[in-house]
Every structure is written in C-alpha cells, then in structure tokens.
C-alpha cells in the first residue's frame, strides 16, 4: 500500500494508484488524502486553515464580499476600481510571508502523510472581476485590452510569489480557482480567452512545475471548449466543479488517459435532490467516462447544506467514492498500469 501522498501522486501522474484518492474540501479533511491550506488573506480560512474558518471580510487586494448569511461566500457590492487604473497606480499586496505561512508547522503536523495542497483561493480572472466589477471587466477585455493586460499581469505576478512561497514551505501542489463557465458555455469566446489569458496561465503553470508543484485548477460551469488548452499548458488536475453542465462523454473521448480529473457528484443536482443510490450511480458513471486503471481520477466531497444537501447525501458522496476505491484496487492489483490514449 502506498502512503496517502503517493496515492495522490500516482493518480495524477497515471502511475497506477492502488485506489482512488479522495479530497474532502470544506469538512472532514483528515478523512481524505489531501489537506488544503489557504494562502490568501481575507479569504476562506483566514486565521485558521486547519479549522476551515471562513472570514469573507475585506480581501488583501481591497475588494469586499458581503455575506448573505446563507452559508455561501457572499457577493461584491461595489467595484473597487470604478475606472480601470494604470498598472503603476495599483496597490499590489505585500507578501506578508511570516503572517501568511504562520500556521504551516501545525498544518504539516496535522497532514501526516497526506498530500499538502496550497490554495490561492480565488485567483487571476476572478480577482480581476471582483476588483473591477463583472460588467466593467468584460468591457475591458474587448475595449481596452492593452490597458487591461499590465494590470492582470500584476495579479498573476503576485500569485507567482505565493506559488514560490508554497514550494519553499513544503507543499506538493498549488490550487487555482477561476470560474470561466456559465451553465451553458464560456463567458468569453475561446479565441479571446486564448489571446488574453492562456499565455499568463502557461507562465504560471510552468513556474509551478519548475518548483516541483502539481497544478490543480478549479472551474465552475461548462468550460469544455478550453479543457484541452488547460491540459496543453500543464494543468495536472482539472476540477470540473459542475459536472451536470458538461458533456463528460465528450470530455472523456478527448482527454481520458491524459488528464487527471477531480470530480464531485453534482452539488446542483444529484447530490442535492438525488437518492444515495443515484449518487453511487453518478460516481460510477464519471469514473467510467474519465478514469483509467492507471489513474486520472480523484473523488471530491464537499458539504453543501446551503444548497439543500442532506447529511445522508453528504455521507453517500463519501461512500460512493470509497466504493470506487475498492473497484480500483481490485482492477489494479498491485497498482501497476499505464495511461491509455482514447483521444
């Protein structure tokens, strides 16, 4: 049997894990194979990463999310940048390394042999939209791309400083979180995304790899048209956060055996309104479409009481991925295997 960290490594790298790794995101992290540390200040986890404390106060960039008192992250009330600033006018946060990493020793002790994942929390594109306001940001992309780009570079350069900090403190992966998809497709055309954002991600991902970190990338909505782009530029783990919006069969045909996926049972549909039997069937369906015997699949469990998830269904999500773990162990035998190419 492999350590929990090595099990995750083998799933990501298609080196035949003996079972399917499981990530518990906002609750019960010590039941899983990955522990999450929040890097941002004024983001979820601020003050106590081990306790998953959420303090959505004013972020270090200066934007503020107003709580709705419903268990969700809240929403921005006003744009911090009513006008698009020049790059030299932007107040880039201080690294504050001692403060930011103060909880790392306790976190490492708590992690034991688990995979340690440092999260930028909200990153890149999402940070820009929170600073600028969503409508303003969308206008910037088409009306002022030359002014937008230097400002966006400041955000990604700051994130790269945090990536380097995470590598120095013994983390194994870095987690990005941007939401490019709506329920029915991308917010931007693939061509515009590739022009404005893909080069920046390519640089960040390459930098993380140079430092020995895996790249984990979260995205809500249907972002299928650019999933191959993320694979091309080095995203090691793609979190399809809303699988109910995506044609997983098509994604599997294009990327199965090449790309590792972190998958929840949909917290918009099946895990909320389905039965435990439905949850088990959906986990098996996703595994069949996206996983190989050599790896490429990580189960994701998140408590979503704010969306109406029952405790029974939360527990069923865990059990569904545990059953996949048993299936993987029986098919892999001693864990040997190679990635297949179904594209």
Give the position of tokens 């979260």.
Answer: 218
Domains recognised in the chain with CATH numbers:
4-332 (3.20.20.210)
Q: How far is CA 321 from CA 1, 246, 253, 275, 318, in A?
A: 18, 20, 22, 15, 5
Q: What's the token pair of residue 146?
A: 């030359």
Give CA torsion, residues 181, 306, 73, 40, to 10 deg.
-90
pLDDT tens for each residue of the chain, 343 residues long: 899 999 999 999 999 999 999 999 999 999 999 999 999 997 543 333 333 334 446 789 988 887 767 667 777 778 899 999 999 999 999 999 999 999 999 999 999 999 999 999 999 999 999 999 999 999 999 999 999 999 999 999 999 999 999 999 999 999 999 999 999 999 999 999 999 999 999 999 999 999 999 999 999 999 999 999 999 999 999 999 999 999 999 999 999 999 999 999 999 999 999 999 999 999 999 999 999 999 999 999 999 998 899 999 999 999 999 999 655 555 554 433 333 333 3
| Best CA proximity match to 71, nearest among 82, 56, 85 | 56
Give 84-138 as a DSSP string: PPPGGG--PPP--HHHHTTTHHHHHHHHTTSEEEEE-SS-HHHHHHHHH-HHHHH
> Dihedral sign, CA of 327, 330, 333, 337?
negative
Long-range (24+ apart) CB contacts under 8 A made by 273-281 are 273/308, 274/313, 276/312, 276/313, 276/316, 276/319, 279/313, 279/316, 279/317, 279/320, 280/316, 280/319, 280/320, 280/323
Give alpha helix (H) positions in the chain. 4-13, 97-100, 104-111, 124-132, 134-143, 145-168, 190-196, 198-210, 227-233, 248-255, 270-273, 276-290, 311-332
Task: Judge whether 232 and 204 are in contact, CB under 8 Å.
Answer: no
Give the position of tokens 């809240």.
Answer: 74
Task: Judge whether 196 and 229 are in contact, CB under 8 Å.
Answer: no
The per-residue pLDDT for 335 is: 38
Model-level pTM?
0.91
* DSSP state at residue 186: B
């Amino acid at each position: 049997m492999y350590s929990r960290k090595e099990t995750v490594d083998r799933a990501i790298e298609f080196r035949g894990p003996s079972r399917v790794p499981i990530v518990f995101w906002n609750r019960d992290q010590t039941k899983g194979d990955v522990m999450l540390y929040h890097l941002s200040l004024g983001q979820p986890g601020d003050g106590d990463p081990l306790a998953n404390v959420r303090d959505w106060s004013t972020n270090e960039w200066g934007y503020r999310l107003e709580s709705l008192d419903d268990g969700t992250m809240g929403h921005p009330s006003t744009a911090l940048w009513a006008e698009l600033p020049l790059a030299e006018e932007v107040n880039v946060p201080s690294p504050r390394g001692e403060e930011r990493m103060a909880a790392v020793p306790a976190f490492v002790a708590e992690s034991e042999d688990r995979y340690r994942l440092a999260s930028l929390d909200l990153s890149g594109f999402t940070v820009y939209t929170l600073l600028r306001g969503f409508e303003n940001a969308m206008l910037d992309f088409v009306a002022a791309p030359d002014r937008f780009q230097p400002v966006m570079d400041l955000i990604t350069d700051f994130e790269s400083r945090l990536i380097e900090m995470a590598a120095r403190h013994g983390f194994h992966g870095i987690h990005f979180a941007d939401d490019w998809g709506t329920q029915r497709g991308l917010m931007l055309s693939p061509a515009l995304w590739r022009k404005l954002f893909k080069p920046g991600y390519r640089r960040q991902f390459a930098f993380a790899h140079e430092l020995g970190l895996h790249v984990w990338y979260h995205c809500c909505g249907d972002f299928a048209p650019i999933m191959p782009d993320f694979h091309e530029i080095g995203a090691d783990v793609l979190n399809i956060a809303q699988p109910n919006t995506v044609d997983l069969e098509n994604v599997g045909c294009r990327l199965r055996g090449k790309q590792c996926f972190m998958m929840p049972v949909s917290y918009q549909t099946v895990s909320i309104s389905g039965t435990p039997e439905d949850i088990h069937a959906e986990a098996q369906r996703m595994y069949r479409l996206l996983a190989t015997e050599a790896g490429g699949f990580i189960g994701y469990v998140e408590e979503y009481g704010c969306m109406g998830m029952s405790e029974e269904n939360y527990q069923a999500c865990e059990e569904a991925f545990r059953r996949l773990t048993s299936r993987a162990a029986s098919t892999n035998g001693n864990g040997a295997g190679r990635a297949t190419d179904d594209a």
